[in-house]
């Protein structure tokens, strides 16, 4: 579907230092592409894309020869009035003209997606603070791939006057608008399968983001725009429902599920009453602090995260601090910033934003169970993959598996009726899985919290099978 001629878009060319060079009007009509292919973009300046359907949003994008070396890469900003969200985009190594599009976000809240880019599934991996190494297991082996620093204030994203986002629902509006503008202007990606993926707090983000994209399609079609072909969400080690995750900590810590028992706990009822039923901020925070002191403090004191990292997966609870500092050092290099198009006035890069942590905490964003969104997406034909490192603790497989069985949707009986069975990669058992009617749950043996970091080959196989709609 091509937009009618009564709508117009505008493209502004700006140097990466922010100086305006020219303005070009690009009318949309059945005979004219909205902008053209990505190959039309410059490496020297940003092209700014906007659309009258989203008067407060625009996208700055430039070609950036960065990270991969075998395919084209692009970077830019999603501009929402005075808020600016940074993104990376890499074309598929396999068949960029045909392959699906995958959107990736890290969690936190407040974590930069540079973690996923440089430590997990991106086209390059940081081995030293100054150089990257080609990653043969990058997800752009089979898909065109986005990494987005969101919400505003995370990574290279910034606000002109300190504006902030404090809920996942508000963040979802900016993400959905960006997706619509991108697909409308670069129509070579129209009607491709679009998959939204992430991990950890992504269990909160992704169901809400995908729901916003799905609901927005009604608006797009009313304006004569092509709807987004939202195909699936892929949640890695997600925390989507605290009420099922808290009891799972007991299983992980007190039973021989992934490691030896550590302690007993008792906080579920308090959390249910104050955080979910009453949504009383002060009492909920008190309940969370009690649960933290009961669950996390003894676990950390036990030495489990560090002394048994090999068994639990190196990304189980604490990330490698040296790798984190390497990312910050690398993204603060002047030549790298010039390539990416980072504005000179931007300060030091930070992989994690405490301001976002506090803002989302103040709104009790984390306690709302996004399992309701997952069930609604499944009802609408959007496939859902829940993959979990078997040795993760913080968003463990026990809680995720229970949440998947308790999802309320018309396919629940068929899904729960399937037994957990082993699945394999190259003839070796990789974990256990259960699947029915578009919902798949899978564990990955030997992996911790960041599965693509611990098991890159296995995770790439998961992606390949998922994009091809193959059984595990």
- φ and ψ at 77, to 5 degrees? -130, 145
Nearest to 198 by CA among 236, 246, 224: 236
Contact predicate 311/259, CB 8 Å: yes
3-state secondary structure at position 358: helix
pLDDT tens-digit series, residues 53-107? 888 888 999 999 889 989 999 999 988 888 899 999 999 999 999 999 999 999 9
3-state secondary structure at position 278: coil
Cα three-residue angle 126-131-137, rounded to 5 degrees: 40
Instruction: Give the containing element (helix H, strand E) for 439.
Output: strand 439-444
Q: What confidence score (pLDDT) does residue 100 get?
A: 98
Q: What confidence score (pLDDT) does residue 304 get?
A: 53
Q: What confidence score (pLDDT) does residue 31 get?
A: 22
**Which regions of the chain carry the CATH code 3.40.50.1820?**
57-243+366-467
Which CATH number describes the domain made up of 57-243+366-467? 3.40.50.1820
Enter the pTM of the model.
0.85
What is the rounded distance in angstroms from the CA atom of residue 229 to the CA atom of residue 1?
Answer: 12
What is the rounded distance in angstroms from the CA atom of residue 152 to the CA atom of residue 172?
Answer: 12
Contact predicate 94/123, CB 8 Å: no
Contact predicate 421/457, CB 8 Å: no
Which segments of 395-455 does DSSP mark as H helices, in order? 397-406, 412-416, 451-454
CB atoms within 10 A of CB 465: 17
pLDDT < 50 positions in the chain: 1-33, 258-264, 305-312, 317
- φ and ψ at 327, to 5 degrees? -60, -45
Instruction: Give the containing element (helix H, strand E) for 301.
Output: helix 297-301
Nearest to 64 by CA among 113, 129, 124, 3: 124
Q: What confidence score (pLDDT) does residue 10 get?
A: 41
Locus of tokens 């990466």: 16
Instruction: Give the containing element (helix H, strand E) for 169.
Output: helix 168-185
Q: What burial letters (b/e) apply to 295-334, b meaning 16+ CB within 10 Å?
A: beeebeebebbeebbeebbbbbbebeeebbebbbbbbbee
Nearest to 28 by CA among 226, 179, 218, 175: 226
Nearest to 150 by CA among 109, 206, 116: 109
3-state secondary structure at position 331: helix
Q: What confidence score (pLDDT) does residue 61 get?
A: 94
User: What residues are annotated to the active site?
Assistant: 200, 392, 449
Percentages (nearest 5) of helix, strand, coil residues in the chain? 40, 25, 40
Contact predicate 443/397, CB 8 Å: yes
């Amino acid at each position: 579907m091509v937009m009618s001629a009564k709508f117009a878009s505008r493209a502004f060319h700006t140097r990466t230092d922010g100086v305006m060079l020219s303005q070009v009007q690009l009318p949309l009509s059945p005979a004219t592409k909205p902008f053209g292919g990505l190959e039309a973009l410059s490496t020297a300046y940003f092209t700014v894309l906007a659309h009258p359907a989203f008067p407060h949003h625009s996208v700055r994008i430039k070609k950036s020869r960065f990270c991969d070396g075998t395919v084209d890469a692009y970077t830019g900003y999603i501009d929402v009035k005075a808020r600016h969200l940074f993104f990376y985009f890499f074309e598929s190594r396999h068949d960029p003209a045909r392959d699906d599009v995958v959107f990736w976000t890290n969690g936190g809240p407040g974590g930069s997606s540079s973690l996923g880019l440089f430590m997990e599934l991106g086209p390059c991996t940081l081995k030293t603070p100054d150089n990257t190494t080609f990653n043969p297991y990058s997800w752009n082996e089979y898909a065109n791939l986005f990494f987005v620093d969101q919400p505003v204030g995370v990574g290279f994203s910034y606000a002109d006057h300190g504006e902030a986002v404090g809920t996942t629902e508000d963040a979802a509006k900016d993400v959905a608008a960006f997706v619509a503008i991108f697909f409308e202007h670069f129509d070579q990606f129209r009607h491709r399968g679009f998959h939204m993926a992430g991990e950890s707090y992504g269990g909160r983000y992704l169901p809400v983001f995908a729901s916003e994209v799905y609901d927005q399609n009604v608006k797009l079609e009313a304006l004569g725009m092509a709807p987004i072909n939202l195909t699936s969400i892929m949640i890695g080690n997600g925390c989507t429902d605290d009420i099922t995750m808290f009891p799972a900590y007991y299983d992980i810590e007190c039973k021989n599920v992934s490691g030896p028992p550590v302690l007993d706990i008792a906080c579920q009822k308090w959390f249910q009453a104050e955080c979910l039923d009453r949504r009383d901020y002060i009492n909920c925070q008190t309940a969370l602090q009690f649960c933290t002191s009961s669950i996390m403090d003894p676990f950390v004191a036990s030495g489990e995260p560090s002394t048994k990292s090999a068994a639990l997966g190196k990304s189980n609870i604490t990330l490698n601090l040296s790798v984190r500092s390497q990312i910050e050092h690398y993204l603060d290099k002047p030549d790298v910033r010039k390539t990416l198009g980072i504005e000179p006035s931007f300060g030091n890069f930070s992989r994690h934003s405490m301001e976002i942590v506090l803002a989302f905490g103040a709104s009790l964003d984390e306690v709302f169970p996004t399992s309701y969104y997952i069930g609604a997406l499944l009802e609408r034909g959007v496939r859902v993959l829940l993959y979990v490192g078997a040795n993760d603790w913080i968003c463990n497989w026990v809680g995720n598996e229970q949440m998947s069985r308790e999802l309320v949707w018309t396919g629940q009986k068929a899904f729960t009726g399937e037994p957990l069975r082993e699945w394999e990669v190259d003839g070796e058992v990789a974990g256990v899985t259960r699947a029915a009617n578009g919902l798949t749950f899978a564990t990955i043996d030997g992996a911790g919290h960041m599965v693509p970091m611990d098991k890159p080959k296995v995770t790439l196989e998961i992606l390949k099978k998922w994009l091809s709609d193959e059984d595990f």
